[in-house]
């Protein structure tokens, strides 16, 4: 069959989620993915019995988590405690998150500790949307007084958003993400590939056709209406509706005359955030209590993803190998060799002797975590519809209306399908 009501370009979380909602609404739906494997940036690579996501991945209890639950996915894993250290001038100092660290850590003065406790309490009840129109930097500089506490909040908000640009990132969505982080994130057993596989199974069950290894070359439209998709292989698929879950630059390239549409603005305003990731399987952790480290004077983060948590440690290897992840948040200048050395050096401080414990490792020099995010230079929120071309929609992490990361991928998928169905209310499952 080459005639569909909905064709979705991209088989990552956003594409698969959109396909399920479209098929549930009775639409004949196809997903086209250029890679041989589904999942996009949510794949999990298995190496010597160790499950590596593409860098540290934590599921926040937001829009994606809610949708996955709504769809009946099994989300098994572990919620680690928020106890953590910070790294400051190559020293590790406890973050005052429990009674013992509150009294003992030299990280903050008494005034700073009290301000931290008050800020966390305030954050718990805060309507974060009040801060949507100022940057993280402005929020921190105007709302916090203690200089070291400001450093702590820069690190916490960078970790929650993956963005190393506090002057650009909107404070409201970042604070909301931090609110969620403080309630506990989920490290998934066997990695995010389990979400991808369950979404695939569900999509197939709903009758979605999934084609991998199919690179879309063009979205064809005439008289301001979408009518088909042309694949690089030359195959043509007729579809009255197309949802692009590709990055903004690719979405722009796929649509002829995109410069005369909103795709042009969305592409021009997009600011990607990239990181270097070092993921390592270790026989054991040289220092067990060092589980979670925020860099204060350097943009780094360390987490032990298979650590103790509720209800038990997350299962990220077949034989008990521990999985640790380091992230370096990158600015515009990127030097892969330097980033790898820096991350290894951080590990020398955090887990001295780690080199003798390595089972396997993965270094990803430059991963795009998000293709765009809610920032101060945004002219408008992308999507769900491309207003100039009937039947054309966008979704994906960059098509955020205030949600972050995978929450944006899923929320935008739901928005695209809702609008496509002409439904005014939330999709009923």
Ligand X SMILES: Cc1cc2nc3c(=O)[nH]c(=O)nc-3n(C[C@H](O)[C@H](O)[C@H](O)COP(=O)(O)OP(=O)(O)OC[C@H]3O[C@@H](n4cnc5c(N)ncnc54)[C@H](O)[C@@H]3O)c2cc1C
CB 370 to ligand X: min, Å? 6
Q: Quote the CA–CA distance of 265 and 278 in Å, as a whole number.
A: 34
**β-pairing verdict for 225-231 and 236-244:** antiparallel
Q: Contacts with ligand X: how many residues (CB under 6 A)? A: 34
Provide CB contacts within 8 A for 143, sequence distance 6+.
119
Please say whether the dihedral angle defined by the alpha carbons of residues 166, 168, 172 and 177, taken in this order, is positive or negative: negative
Residue 134 neighbours by CB under 8 Å, 6+ apart: 142, 170, 171
**Residue 243: strand, helix, or coil:** strand
Q: Which residue is nearest to ligand X (CB)?
A: 40
For residue 384, what are its two tokens?
């769900």
Q: Provide, rounded to whole angstroms, the least separation between the CB of residue 362 and ligand X.
A: 11
Site string for ligand X, 227-246 (x = CB under 6 A): ------------------xx
Per-residue three-class SS string for 294-337: EECCCCEEEEECCCCCECCCCCCECCCCEEEEEEEECCCCCCHH
Residue nearer to ligand X on the CB measure, 144 or 277: 277
Separation between Cα atoms, residue 401 and residue 398, nearest integer Å? 9
248 sits near ligand X (criterion: CB under 6 A): no
Query: Per rule CB under 6 A, is residue 11 in the interface with ligand X?
Result: yes
Task: Count CB-CB contacts under 10 A for residue 66.
Answer: 13
Other CB atoms within a 10 A radius of the CB of residue 28 amount to 17
Q: Does 326 bind ligand X (CB under 6 A)?
A: no
Residue selected from 239, 258, 275, 296 as contacting ligand X according to rule CB under 6 A: 275
Q: What's the min distance (Å) between Cβ of 277 and ligand X?
A: 5
Q: Looking at beta carbons only, is 93 or 237 nearer to ligand X?
A: 237
Residue closer to ligand X by CB (options 94, 251) is 251
Rule CB under 6 A: choose which of 57, 158, 290, 414 binds ligand X.
Answer: 57
Sole window of 38-46, 85-93, 299-307, 310-318 interacting with ligand X (rule: CB under 6 A):
38-46
- Judged by CB under 6 A, the residue of 152, 250, 255, 392 near ligand X is 250
Nearest residue (CB) to ligand X, 251 versus 351: 251
**Binders of ligand X in range 349-408 (CB under 6 A):** 367, 369, 396-397, 405-406
Q: Which of 353, 243, 375 is nearest to 288 (CA)?
A: 353
With CB under 6 A as the contact rule, the residue among 19, 29, 34, 228 that binds ligand X is: 34
- CA–CA gap between residue 261 and residue 141 (Å, rounded): 38
CB of 27 to ligand X, least distance (A): 19
Question: Residue numbers of the site for ligand X (CB under 6 A)?
Answer: 9-15, 32-35, 40-42, 54-58, 60, 215-216, 245-246, 250, 275, 277, 367, 369, 396-397, 405-406, 409
């Amino acid at each position: 069959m080459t005639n569909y009501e909905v064709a979705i370009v991209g088989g990552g979380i956003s594409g698969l989620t959109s396909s399920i909602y479209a098929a549930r609404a009775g639409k004949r739906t196809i997903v086209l993915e250029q890679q041989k494997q589904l999942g996009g940036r949510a794949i999990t690579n298995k190496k010597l019995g160790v499950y590596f996501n593409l860098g540290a991945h934590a599921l926040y209890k937001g829009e994606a988590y809610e949708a996955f639950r709504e769809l009946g996915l099994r989300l098994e894993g572990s919620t680690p405690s928020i106890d953590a250290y910070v790294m400051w001038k190559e020293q590790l100092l406890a973050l005052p998150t429990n009674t013992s660290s509150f009294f003992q850590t030299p990280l903050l003065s008494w005034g700073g500790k009290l301000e931290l406790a008050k800020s966390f309490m305030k954050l718990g009840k805060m309507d974060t949307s009040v801060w949507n129109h100022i940057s993280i930097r402005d929020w921190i500089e105007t709302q916090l007084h203690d200089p070291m506490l400001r450093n702590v909040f820069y690190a916490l908000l960078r970790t929650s958003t993956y963005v190393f640009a506090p002057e650009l990132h909107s404070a409201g969505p970042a604070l909301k993400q931090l609110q969620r982080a403080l309630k506990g994130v989920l490290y998934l057993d066997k990695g995010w590939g389990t979400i991808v596989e369950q979404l695939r199974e569900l999509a197939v069950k709903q009758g979605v056709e999934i084609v991998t290894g199919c690179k879309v070359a063009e979205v064809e439209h005439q008289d301001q209406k979408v009518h088909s998709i042309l694949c690089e292989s030359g195959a043509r698929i007729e579809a009255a509706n197309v949802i692009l879950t590709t990055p903004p630059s690719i979405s722009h390239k796929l649509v002829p005359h995109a410069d005369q549409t909103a795709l042009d603005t969305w592409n021009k305003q997009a600011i990607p955030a990239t990181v270097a990731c070092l993921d390592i399987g270790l026989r054991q952790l040289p220092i067990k209590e060092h589980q979670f480290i925020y860099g204060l004077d350097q943009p780094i983060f360390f987490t032990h993803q298979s650590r103790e948590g509720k209800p038990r440690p997350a299962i990220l290897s077949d034989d008990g190998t521990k999985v640790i992840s380091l992230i370096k948040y990158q600015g515009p200048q990127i030097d892969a060799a330097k980033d790898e050395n820096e991350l290894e050096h951080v590990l020398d401080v955090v887990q001295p002797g780690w080199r003798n414990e390595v089972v396997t490792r993965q270094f990803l020099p430059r991963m795009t975590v998000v293709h765009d995010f809610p920032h101060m230079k945004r002219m408008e929120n992308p999507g769900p519809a491309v207003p100039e071309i009937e039947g054309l929609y966008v979704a994906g992490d960059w098509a955020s209306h205030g949600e972050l990361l995978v929450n944006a991928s899923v929320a935008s998928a739901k928005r695209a399908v809702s609008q496509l169905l002409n439904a005014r209310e939330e999709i009923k499952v």
